[in-house]
A and B are shown apart, each in its own frame.
Chain A
Amino acid sequence: MPRAWYTTDKAQTIAKRLVVFFCGLGVLWGLSYVPFIAPGFHTVQGGIYSASSTVGRAISRLFAQESTLSSQLELCTERLTQTTATAAQAEQANNEVTQWQQVVGYEQRSGVHGLAARIIARGETPASTVIIDRGANDGVAEGSAVVIGNGILYGTIISVEGTQSFVRVTEDARSALSATIQGATKTMGLVVGQEGAALQMQYIPQDTTIAIGDIVVTSGLGGKVPEGLILGTVQNIQAEPSAPFLTATILPVHDPREWTAVIVLPFPGTGNL
């Protein structure tokens, strides 16, 4: 009696081969889930994929049509412009954060709590007037000192409106502040702006001990601008034997154009704003 086809040796051999084949596939599939084998395999596979896709991109660029390249160039140029603008905004924001950090640091060190403000408009020249976003509604008063960074005097409030105020920077020619050398107790002179990058300290008594490099600070005379706010450093001293007073050129320690974050100080002895 002939045997059934599935009982023949050939059929059984084929069946065994198929079982081994599918079991082999199952083992390979299972190995991909083994914790210490799968990451290695994926690393190798990822490396092959990365290399192949790099080659593929290079080949597609070789065969790219001119119109495709032109449109890609246009797109890249547009993205570069946008990225440059974004980078400029990011740098400006970073600068502003740094400034605010310095302002907060000054408040913490001095114990004076002023009113934080932002410069929203400038005059035509750096040594001129700026507008800040705080006004009478926030308690700002004419004559208040405006400082930046680490206790550096930026200017004084000359005009107040409801929601904004005008600040005359120290470099402005109409600015005049009583000043002294840091560490001294009495007023030594008057610091006036020079419509440029420098200040001039006038009416310094002939017998005053003053040297190049000395730090010039406000003396607090007048009662509106606190004492100890930094104006600049002595750059040179003009002395004439026949003149009753000395004159010194003061170099400011800041550039008014660089600052956007300021703090408005209350009048000395009046508390916080």
Chain B
Amino acid sequence: MRSALFLALLFGGLITFEASCVWALGGVALAIPIMAIGGLLVMHRSGMADGIAWFLALAFIRHDVVSLALCLIAPFLLLRTFSTRSIYALLGFGFASYTLSIISVGTIAYLGGILGLKAENLLPKHPILQIAFLLPGLYIGTVIIRSLQKNFLSRIALKSPL
């Protein structure tokens, strides 16, 4: 269960890092989806259950509909389409999941607008920029995880959830 606790710590640390450090830079840095990158990495390397828990917690904390959509779409893609063995699969999985989630939420917002519901706040502010940052973010995340596994986590005998 230590790995589950480590995952909780990672979630808390990453959400603080995103809000206090990355978004504080301003400008285009506001479009870097740190938590989405973390969640996709967790789901790809640690398992579907951990990933779903990650996105559920994110959706609950931030009231984020895209995270909720990722809970549904990403496991389906991981089971049916993408493997968990290569970095190219990770990049494809991340890109497909996030894009499909944004399209789904955008469709819901559009239909909601037609029906008279105020749904324009469901979409993130810069969806295309976020997708553009997602791919290099996933690659850099993989490099960091491999480095951590080799140099840090194995030394403290912690089974990494990733």
Cross-chain contact A52 with B21 (CB below 8 angstroms): yes
Question: Which one of B1-9, B81-89, B101-109, B110-118 contacts A?
Answer: B1-9
Q: Tell whether B133 is near chain A: CB-to-CB under 8 Å.
A: no
Bound state CA distance, A17 and B6, in angstroms? 11
Q: Closest Cβ of chain A: how far from B22's Cβ, in Å?
A: 7
Task: Report Cα–Cα, A22/B25, bound state, in Å.
Answer: 30
Residues of B within 8 A of A59 (CB): 25, 27
Size of interface on A: residues with Cβ below 8 Å to B: 22
Closest A residue to B12 by CB, please name it.
A28
Asked if B147 CB lies within 8 Å of chain A CBs, one says no
Count B interface residues, CB 8 Å: 23
Inter-subunit contact A28/B8 (CB<8 Å): yes
Chain B residue, CB-CB nearest to A27: B8
- Chain B contact surface mostly: helix
Contacting pair A21 B27 (CB below 8 A) = no
Interchain CB contact under 8 A, A57 and B26: yes
Cβ contact of A28, chosen from B9, B21, B24, B53, cutoff 8 A? B9
Give every chain A residue within 8 A of B50 (Cβ-Cβ): 17, 21
| Contact between A48 and B20, CB atoms less than 8 A apart | yes
Q: Are A20 and B1 in contact (CB under 8 A)?
A: yes
In addition to A21-B11, A53-B25, 4 A-B residue pairs with Cβ atoms within 8 Å of each other are A17-B4, A20-B1, A25-B12, A48-B24
A-B contact pairs, 26 of them (CB 8 A): A14-B49, A17-B3, A17-B49, A17-B50, A18-B4, A18-B49, A20-B1, A20-B5, A20-B8, A21-B7, A21-B50, A22-B53, A23-B8, A24-B5, A24-B8, A25-B8, A25-B12, A48-B24, A52-B20, A52-B21, A52-B24, A52-B25, A53-B25, A53-B26, A56-B25, A56-B27
